Structure 1
């Protein structure tokens, strides 16, 4: 759990500093007398309503995309274990089974004739 001054870090409230900052970035709400198409265009150009939880997921996604170690991400997010982090964000890791198989194949071909690992000295 994240702590500030010994107290739990609480999510922002609707009247707190976070939503006030988002409101400043978004700008004023459109006038009520504009039509639906104008309102949609205005909304599409505004800063999005981003929750603190969405920012947390964005930070995790960016760390994964940049190749951060899972333990680093776990600590940054305050998860109890790397398993929790992987359960939440494991789908963001690339599926590299083909790449791993190719690299293992290269190692196997290079190492032919040499004993390796647990199979050293075994015969069939």
Structure 2
């Protein structure tokens, strides 16, 4: 698929896709006319990259962990430095805190909606 289709299917700008390519996160074949041609695989890959970026990981770390996202999973890091591992541990802790916060917020909203629906449907009286 061409870059425009990948952009449309992932909600990612063409400019950002070219940046991902410059960073070695995705790879495009080139047609004889010079146009980029992306494999279907890259739709999910771009979404994974965006998710990792949204979680706060820098592209240099994303590039290192992308092989772990493939199936079958291959985890082999001959160049995993103590600094990289410490950064990943911090990022994992940060993600876990965000997940916990999102879970609390989701539960609070669900409770609120249930209460509003119960009052609206006459299953509970409205608070005075």
Which interval holds the TM-score relative to the shorter structure? under 0.3
**Which is greater in Rg?**
1
TM-score, length of structure 1 as denominator length: 0.23
TM-score, length of structure 2 as denominator length: 0.23
